[in-house]
Amino acid sequence: MYIKRLKLKAFRNYAEEELEFSPLTNFIYGNNAHGKTNILEAVYLFAQGRSHRAKSDRELIKFGEDQARLTLEFSDSSRDYIADMRISASGRKAININHVPVAKLSKLMNYLNVVMFSPEDLELVKGSPYFRRRFIDSAISQLYPSYLASLMEYHKVLEQKNSLLKALRASGAAGDPTLSVWNEALAAAGSKLMEARAEFTEHINSAAGRIQEEISGEKLIIKYLPSIKCADITSEGLLDYLSARERREIELGSSQYGVQRDDLEIYVNGKEAKLFASQGQQRTAALAMKMAQAEYIEDIKGEWPVLLLDDIMSELDLSRRMYLSERIRDKQVLITSTDTDLVEGGTDTRLFHIENGRVI
Ligand SMILES: Nc1ncnc2c1ncn2[C@@H]1O[C@H](COP(=O)(O)OP(=O)(O)OP(=O)(O)O)[C@@H](O)[C@H]1O
Ligand SMILES: [Mg+2]
């Protein structure tokens, strides 16, 4: 799939701007703080329904304005789309695709898929389990809305269970019948999530392993590390597991087991990457995981996603850069950089020089 044209009005530091993209490489360059990432953020919004960095949608509206308006034209192998988004000061977003309102933001993922790479992706390897869960959840949710629905249901119930556990602990009570109601709901949603995560990790492991091997000759292994270690990952199996541990959770006053504590184990050349891999090896592993995610989208949807590379070229050494350039040569990619020396590519490369919220 590819994006053709982006129009921005009162979005971030853009008053009014229009960009027409090449179906291949688009190189967005300019000095710090002039608005390069804002462009990628706008495209990402159309794929994911929310910004990859803003806490509130209101931040997206240009200072002093009361509404931002964005339009994105894009195509996949079967048809053309025009998507229109208005973000109002109340923080509400209204989105139309081909002039039909999109009722739920999660529906956007049915249309446009993107994979964003940024320097913060190093956290995938180095950071807390939160970053790896977020990677898994966002990757699977992009393709399976039912996963997102289970995830939201799970977290809603988890919150209720946690307040109950807290109250039980405070009152010194031994139990409460509602606890098993929450555990049943968590087991039902949790078993679906665990199954999807295990399957996704297998996919990512084999693709990322091959990619890391191609880039650096190193052996990358990614394993799913579920918080609940039980042989029977069915709703019943998980319920038994949770029920057997009710006492302990009441004692501690919070939920101790479940997908909210899952993680991925990442090994480079047999050693745990978080602890032993060099910064460069960690970066390569993160890149391999993101490329694997792009391949996964292609496998499932039959469409290669739009790649958004935010400021990562300067962080890669020459051989990794060359690998990446080769890999993305026939794909659409938006690359930001402060450094024009990194521009490479043929006649299909389009350059955007960004200065103070303008393409000049
Ligand atoms: N709501 C807003 N209204 C107006 N300007 C904004 C708004 N939000 C952010 N900005 C401005 O946008 C600029 C940052 O844009 P962006 O993050 O795209 O920069 P960048 O070109 O990617 O920089 P870097 O090279 O440092 O990553 C800053 O100057 C910031 O003040
Ligand atoms: Mg930036």
pLDDT tens, 226-275?
A: 999 999 999 999 999 999 999 999 999 999 999 999 999 999 999 999 99
Q: What is the mean pLDDT of residues 10-35?
A: 96
Confidence of residue 86 (pLDDT cuts 50, 70, 90): very high
Residues with Cβ within 8 Å of residue 250, at least 6 apart in sequence: 165, 168, 169, 173, 174, 175, 179
Q: Ligand 2: distance of its center to the CA of 306 in Å? A: 18
Distance CA 149, CA 302 (A): 23
Q: Ligand 1: distance of its center to the CA of 70 in Å? A: 17
Does the structure show a pLDDT above 70 at 346? Answer: no
More confident residue, 77 or 345: 77
C-beta of residue 228 within 8 angstroms of C-beta of residue 190: yes
Which residues have a beta carbon within 5 Å of ligand 2, which is an ion?
36-37
Question: Of ligand 1's atoms, which has the minimum distance to the CA of residue 354?
Answer: 21
Which is nearest to 47 in space by CA: 114, 127, 147?
114
pLDDT tens, 148-205?
A: 999 999 999 999 999 999 999 999 998 999 999 999 999 999 999 999 999 999 999 9
Q: Ligand 1: distance of its center to the CA of 49 in Å? A: 20
H or E element in which residue 284 lies? helix 279-301
Question: Of ligand 1's atoms, which has the minimum distance to the CA of residue 40?
Answer: 18
C-beta of residue 160 within 8 angstroms of C-beta of residue 314: no
Which protein residue's CA is at the shortest distance from atom 7 of ligand 1?
A: 12
Q: Is the CB of 13 under 6 A from ligand 1?
A: yes
Which is nearest to 325 in space by CA: 292, 299, 287?
287
Q: Ligand 1: distance of its center to the CA of 125 in Å? A: 27
How high is the pLDDT of residue 262?
98
Question: Of ligand 1's atoms, which has the minimum distance to the CA of residue 35?
Answer: 18
Q: Which three-class secondary structure state does DSSP give residue 81?
A: strand
Distance CA 202, CA 221 (A): 10
CATH level 2 (architecture), domain 1-113+303-360: 3-Layer(aba) Sandwich (3.40)
**Helix, strand, coil percentages, rounded to 5, for the chain:** 50, 25, 30
Does the structure show a pLDDT above 80 at 333? Answer: yes
Which is nearest to 308 in space by CA: 322, 326, 294, 295?
294
Does the structure show a pLDDT above 70 at 345? Answer: no
pLDDT tens, 194-206?
A: 999 999 999 999 9
Residue 242's CB: how many other CB atoms inside 10 A? 25
How high is the pLDDT of residue 308?
97
Spell out the domain ranges in the chain: 1-113+303-360
Q: What is the pTM of this model?
A: 0.92
Compute the C-alpha angle 99/105/106, nearest 5°.
Answer: 120
Does the structure show a pLDDT above 80 at 340? Answer: no
Q: What is the mean pLDDT of residues 200-226?
A: 97
Which protein residue's CA is at the shortest distance from atom 25 of ligand 1?
A: 32
Q: Which three-class secondary structure state does DSSP give residue 183?
A: helix
Computed over every residue of the chain, the mean pLDDT equals 94
Which protein residue's CA is at the shortest distance from atom 15 of ligand 1?
A: 35
Does the structure show a pLDDT above 80 at 222? Answer: yes
